[in-house]
Amino acid sequence: MKALELLRRQVSRQDGRIVEALAQRQELVKRIVAIKIENGLDLRDRAREGAVLASVIRLGREHGLDAGYLTRLFHPIIDHALDIQRELLLREDGGGKAARLAVRVAYQGTEGAYSHLAARKHFAPVLQRVSFSGLNTFPEVTDAVEAGEADYGVLPIENTTAGSINEVYDLLRRANVSIVGEAVQEVDHCLLAIEDVPLSSLKRVYSHPQALAQCSDFLATLTGCRVESYTDTAMAVEKVRDEGDVVQAAIASEAAADHFGLRVLKRGIANQPENFTRFVVVAREPRTVDLRTPCKTSLVLSTDHREGALARCLDLLATHHLNLTKLESRPLPRTPWEYLFYIDVEGNAAAPGTSEALDKLRDETRFLKVLGSYPALAGLSAPQKAGARKTPKSAT
């Protein structure tokens, strides 16, 4: 046992060195980004990004480390550089004033909900200045932003398993808010209860309807157990804790279990292991994004009910070299068999080419609303997974 304790102390010392090295890397990244901003250099260097990861993998192999392990480890480290860039640009654009102000962020749910985790992830560079408010519904989030009660709102917009969240798309069309950012949160559903009980003893399981749908295969194995929808995953955990019934369980994140003091009965219960939710960050006013930052612009439009109307819109985007990353149709309210189209393109609305395309698009559409132009995250199909992205977002 003495040998075990000695080894554990050595591991702890190495952990400390890793943290110190990460802190030193962060300071170097800040200095590099500051130089780029001062000299008007592009903030993203794709060749450098690939070279950094390749160098890490090559060095790791020399020390007997697996390439997949290093890729999973270094993607978040490299991604953090983009967060630093975004924060420094905010200071630059706001003359340093924005960096000193407190930030109020609203989300749907309660602490430990996936929306809360995504919000913390997005605002990680300024986390010490952020206060989070959990609200009951998506409209309450946009209402808080519109009323100035929150500076930002965080809303889930699509999931790799369940698809688009139509309620949020419709809300973005109606609300007087603008998308100013996006975040992707891995969804790792767990079965939680107040005690370590056999699965066969459970009589009720609560969670958000989408979470229940995403875990339907596992839930089908719980004989004699009733599945009930609840407002939010973390709120379901809170309900199970407050009622103290050992035959009740909730499906939520492990973070929710830690926050509310529940036990994890089973991890990884989703039908598909690759499960991610994309969130958008909204504010009352649109943000102007530095032209050197890779951007995405989100639109909603409707066309006349005539042959080739949508095709002409898409051709117009292609003519201006705007790559389409999403096209979603939704029924037009109170107009049967006509549709709204939600579109994401790669481009900054402030850039001349994109701006010109949007002007021409207005002439081709019956209705057009720019939902927002914002810094884009790369590789959203499967973020933070080994081999999922050929190029990380930013290594400076």
Active-site residue set: 277, 279
Q: Which residues pair with 206 in a beta bridge?
A: 228, 250
Is residue 257 within 8 A of residue 190, CB to CB? The reply is yes
Start-end of H helices in the chain: 2-39, 46-62, 67-93, 114-122, 138-146, 166-174, 209-214, 216-219, 233-243, 254-260, 309-319, 352-364
Is residue 259 within 8 A of residue 234, CB to CB? The reply is yes
Strand-pair category, 295-302 with 248-252: unpaired
Give the pair of three-digit tokens for residue 218: 């596992």
- Identify the CA nearest to 108 among candidates 2, 217, 210: 210
Buried b / exposed e across 351-365, counting CB within 10 Å, b at 16+? Answer: beebbebbeebeebb
Give the pair of three-digit tokens for residue 310: 């949508």
Strand-pair category, 178-186 with 204-207: unpaired
Give the pair of three-digit tokens for residue 162: 């369940």
Task: State the Rg of the chain over Cα.
Answer: 23
Give the pair of three-digit tokens for residue 226: 């009733």
Q: What 3-state class would DSSP assign to 323?
A: coil
- Identify the CA nearest to 75 among candidates 396, 391, 300: 391
Give the pair of three-digit tokens for residue 36: 């780029």
Q: Which residues pair with 191 in a beta bridge?
A: 251, 266
Rounded to whole angstroms, the Cα distance separating 214 from 188 reads 10
Q: What 3-state class would DSSP assign to 221?
A: coil
Strand-pair category, 367-375 with 295-302: antiparallel
Q: Which residues pair with 205 in a beta bridge?
A: 227, 249
Rounded to whole angstroms, the Cα distance separating 128 from 383 reads 25
